[in-house]
């Protein structure tokens, strides 16, 4: 190997007239030099003999393994490198880190899924999902019951009583979806509509009262399609007895506490599946496929 270094040194001294350049190149040859690099020094120092002034576009950092296609010539131009770089661009660090994180996150979220397959029917209602929107439909003898809800921004953690748990046994609360939902009782061209939501306060354990896990936010009645001119009344200003009768009506139509709990379970699984799908979409978008 030392003989190659000495040979390169003699070539440099004969081809390079500039003293400073020769000094710099001699210093570089003092370190162990591989064969490809020695041959590269010869091309770099004697480039004026290869092509004269027209050869100024030659690049000096080439080798036999160069991917631009120069091959055994060990000679290529700047345009070749730019063209090759355009074919295989380097991905920014931020994008690489994002894809790596998403890959691990998707695996973890799939392991945490409780509903691997979402049901097509829920407590007698047929289920239809469209992105974040869900429609539950049940046809009776002379009417149709429609329940609609949107899972966006509906996930919250279950209440966690820290006073009842030991510090070393505290765990993260389960994330649950409790969406506001619309109940439409449709008879012909007339619709009796309810807007319902889950109650924030936990029902008491008293056996003397009926504890609802959801309540009526709004009641309306209209013909044809709903529009902004339709009158609606808030549930908290209704007469107490009328409110109870309307809740009984909903229960008779299948909108009970049990149904609301199943709706929350389904919405939780549906939202989780939508979240995983979003992560996968972001990963594919970042990769560029």
Task: State whether 62 and 151 are in the same domain.
Answer: no
Q: For residues 21 and 42, is the Cβ–Cβ distance under 8 A?
A: no
Please, are residues 148 and 135 in contact by the beta-carbon 8 Å criterion?
Answer: yes
Same domain, residue pair 158 and 36 = no
The backbone region for 25, taken as left when phi is positive above 0, alpha when psi lies in -120 to 50, beta otherwise, is alpha
Name all contacts of 261-265 with Cβ < 8 Å and 24+ positions apart: 261/213, 262/122, 262/123, 263/122, 263/136, 263/147, 263/149, 263/179, 263/181, 264/176, 264/177, 264/178, 264/198, 265/115
- Quick one: 22 and 137 in the same domain? no
108 domain residue, yes or no: no
Q: Tens of pLDDT along 122-134?
A: 999 999 999 999 9
- As a whole number of angstroms, the distance between CA 285 and CA 55 comes to 42
Domain-located, residue 100:
no
Whether residue 177 sits in one domain with residue 134? yes
Pairwise CA distance, residues 40 & 60, whole Å? 7
Residue 89 DSSP label:
P
68 and 11 part of one domain: yes
- The domain tally of the chain equals 2
* pTM reported for the whole predicted model: 0.63
Residue 94 lies in a domain: no
Taking only the tens place, the pLDDT of each residue in 61-116 is: 444 445 555 544 445 455 554 555 444 567 788 888 999 999 999 999 998 888 88
Longest dimension (CA), the chain: 108
Distance between CA atoms of 54 and 77, rounded to whole angstroms? 12
Shared-domain flag, residues 118 and 58: no
| pLDDT > 90 in the chain, percent | 48
**In this structure, what CATH number is given to the domain that contains residue 277?**
3.10.280.10
Question: Tens of pLDDT along 221-274?
Answer: 999 998 999 999 999 999 999 999 999 999 999 999 999 999 999 999 999 999
User: Span 149-156, mean pLDDT?
Assistant: 92
- CA–CA separation, 75 and 61 (whole Å): 9
pLDDT at 36: 41
Comparison of pLDDT for 39 and 105, the residue scoring more: 105
What's the whole-number average pLDDT of the chain? Answer: 75
Domain span at residue 268? 113-287
Within a domain: 122: yes
> Does the residue 173 lie in any domain?
yes
Q: Which of 46, 69, 87 is the last residue of a domain?
A: 87
Domain shared by 82 and 121, yes or no = no
Q: Are residues 184 and 234 in the same domain?
A: yes
Candidates 39, 30, 83; CA nearest to 61 is 39
Based on the domain organization, do 126 and 268 belong to the same domain? yes
Q: Once rounded to an integer, what is the mean pLDDT over residues 166-188?
A: 78
CA–CA dist 75, 66 (Å, integer): 9
Q: Are 73 and 195 contained in the same domain?
A: no
Same domain, 145 and 53: no
């Amino acid at each position: 190997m030392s003989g190659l270094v000495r040979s390169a040194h003699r070539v440099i001294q004969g081809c390079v007239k500039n003293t400073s350049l020769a000094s710099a190149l001699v210093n570089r040859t003092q370190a162990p030099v591989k064969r490809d690099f020695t041959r590269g020094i010869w091309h770099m120092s004697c480039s004026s003999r290869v092509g004269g002034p027209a050869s100024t576009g030659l690049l000096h950092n080439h080798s036999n393994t160069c991917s631009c296609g120069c091959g055994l010539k060990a000679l290529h131009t700047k345009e070749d490198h730019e063209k090759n770089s355009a074919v295989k661009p380097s991905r920014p660090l931020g994008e690489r880190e994002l894809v790596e994180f998403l890959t691990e996150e998707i695996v973890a979220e799939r392991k945490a899924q409780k509903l691997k397959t979402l049901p097509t029917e829920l407590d007698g209602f047929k289920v239809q999902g469209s992105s974040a929107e869900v429609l539950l439909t049940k046809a009776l003898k002379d009417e149709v019951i429609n329940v609609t809800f949107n899972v966006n921004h509906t996930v919250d953690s279950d209440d966690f009583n820290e006073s009842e748990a030991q510090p070393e046994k505290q765990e993260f609360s389960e994330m649950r979806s409790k969406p506001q939902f619309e109940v439409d009782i449709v008879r012909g061209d007339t619709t009796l509509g309810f807007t319902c939501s889950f109650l924030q306060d936990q029902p008491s354990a008293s056996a003397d009262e009926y504890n609802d896990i959801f309540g009526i936010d709004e009641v309306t009645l209209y013909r044809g399609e709903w529009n902004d001119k339709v009158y609606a009344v808030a549930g908290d200003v209704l007469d107490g007895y009328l409110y109870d009768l309307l809740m009984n009506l909903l229960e008779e139509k299948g909108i009970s506490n049990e149904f609301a709990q199943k709706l929350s379970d389904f919405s939780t699984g549906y939202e989780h599946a939508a979240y995983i799908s979003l992560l996968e979409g972001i990963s594919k978008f970042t990769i560029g496929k």
